[in-house]
Amino acid sequence: MEKRKIGSLEVSLAGLGCNNFGWRIDAAQTAQVVGAAIDAGVNFFDTADMYSTGQSEEYLGRALGARRKQVLVATKFGLPMDEKRKGAKPAYVRQAVEDSLRRLGTDYIDLYQLHHPDKETPIADTLGALDELVRAGKVREIGCSNFSRDQLLEAAAGVKTGAARFVSVQNNYSLLHREPEPEVLPECVRQGLGFLPFFPLANGLLSGKYRAGQNMPAGSRGADGFGPKLFTDANLAIVEKLIAFAESRGHSMLDLAESWLASQPAVVSVIAGAKTPEQVRTNAAAVSWKLTADELKAIDAIAPRAA
């Protein structure tokens, strides 16, 4: 599988988002999904401490076992675990990383990400604490998530000479949510940051299993009430046009959604979630379609760029 760079890391173009672990699938199912991902050439696993209040990290660590050094593990901190464990103050950064290392069953994290800006803590203070973790060998690279262009600029200005800097940003991005395009993606290109899109399938709406005029599949995120603002008649109409476009070229909606993201500036890995080994294999294969300039232009006419 194609690999791209996040700082010093070479990540697979298809990654695995681990938020289903401990929430929608148990430890045994997690092990099956992780094994299928490795077999399919996926080496990038993205989780967070607050996914299932730590269970996602625990299940991922257990599933990797002796294969830990074969892969790259990304996790996040900062969103509330409870009333006390949250934020990005230096003391909590030091606590949070130790907790994640313990749950993951490892002594280092490949990519450690601030899950959300902390308005109560100067970013320079957080970066200082993260630099300590890099120097101590507990973290290889650092990144951020849910950052605006202005916040990326503030973070870049807060890095001391020779200290660790953010090498990635992870924001919501898909064919139906193109907000990063006017500001964040150009700033990623300017700073050399890798961009990691979360919700690449728009909570499953771009998976191809949701069709206009049909009931939502039982057990799906749409049927469970996730993303109600996404599952609109207008968006379903766009999806129908995208499905027709993909099928006219011998591809699926899923292929289009993931390969389109892989074609965008600064995108380094498409980290879709999965509940079954078959979903993992399908996701891993989906990023291989190399879209032409004319195809990208036609897609923009169906799902317009952000203003």
What positions carry a catalytic annotation? 51
Q: Give me the phi and psi of 254, to 5 degrees please.
A: -60, -45
87 contacts 118 by C-beta, under 8 angstroms: yes
The b-or-e profile of 91-117 (16+ CB within 10 A means b, else e) is ebbeebbeebbebbebebbbbbbbbbb
Q: Give me the phi and psi of 156, to 5 degrees please.
A: -65, -40
199 contacts 172 by C-beta, under 8 angstroms: yes
CA separation for the pair 31, 257 (Å, rounded): 26
37 contacts 272 by C-beta, under 8 angstroms: no
Which amino acid is located at 251 in the chain? H
CA separation for the pair 265, 248 (Å, rounded): 25
162 contacts 135 by C-beta, under 8 angstroms: no
